[in-house]
Structure 1
Amino acid sequence: MDIDAGAGPAGGERAVPVEWTVVESVIGPLFLAATGRGLVRVEFHADAARRERMLDRLAGQLGAEPVECASGLLAEAIRRLDRYFAGEARDFDLPLDWSLATGFNRQVLRELAASVPYGTVVGYGELARRVGQPGAAQAVGAAMGANPLPVVVPCHRVVESDGGLGGFGGGLETKRRLLALEGVLPEPLF
């Protein structure tokens, strides 16, 4: 399910309650946040310092102080991520709150989520072409870097046209591990 939330408090909406938690995964701790509309943020390498920065940033972006996992908003996202990392699930089918992505970035991320399934990759230029902007490969790269929902909105599946990995906000080793999990790359030998 996909919720097309507005632009958040800056767009004149009321503040939205936000819940958060940190979960362990095979790629390290992940910071997760959700609103009543859906999952709104995933952040890699969620050590204490990064978690505090994310909480401050979310409070400013969404206009509400995030609270630690109070009502169960994150329960289904946690279950889906656990199943994904165990190799038991290939999609997330979660409500998503898109309020942290706008304009071109939102368009590109929604196209990515809708059209690049588990175990496949797409080039930056091809994704640009799919959203009607064939010369915007670099802008697609910027949209991937600004993705507020990595893993769930699979920016790790976007690669260079020559087969290179390209960049990744979670680090190239994390991108390699996600692509190996999906069978796109071989598992590391050690």
Structure 2
Amino acid sequence: MINVNAKLLAAVSLAQSTDKTRYYICGVYFENGLMAATDGNIFTCAQEETGLEAGQGAILPISKKVQTAAKKSNASTVEIDDGVIKVLDGHHNILHMEPVKEIDGTYPNFRHIVPDIKGLTSSGAFNVPILDHIKDVAKILTPSRNKLTPVWIVGDNATDAHIARYGASEKIFSVVMPVNMKVKGEEAFASTGKPDWFAAA
């Protein structure tokens, strides 16, 4: 049986692919100690004791209904067992339940894509859909509307993969690729962050 934190699963599952030609990434990958998902553009991974033994792995599609239930404020855990997925509250009451079928395939080796950031030196540019995705993950992880989760996006340079970290959480991160963007005055923009037309007082 797989048993994981509902909010973490909801956040990770946002990255699963919908491209049926790459069916093996159309779900969340679970193994001992973590769960991960990617659509080829963004990768999100969370540390979590899934209940699987070392060497075991499973790819399971997470439906929109499961995501919605797992994001609820009273959602606590998600259990997956015998072809059924359940979203439970803190008292073990069922908030949502539906059948789920494991995806038969080999999940890509994702460990080599996670960069080892040496310093906060990047000025990367990111597409709006990537930023929207990061915002949606942060909203799921936000404990209350009055305490929004900040996000840091860091990388070694403007063209390599960056890591997005969510607040003070050590349990979840995303990997995103910046766009290759050439703009006039790129060096000045990277060093000062302000446009040429703005005159400092």
Normalized per residue, the structure richer in strand is: 2
Normalized per residue, the structure richer in helix is: 1
Question: What's the TM-score once normalised by structure 2's chain length?
Answer: 0.28
Question: What's the TM-score once normalised by structure 1's chain length?
Answer: 0.30
Structure number with bigger Rg? 2
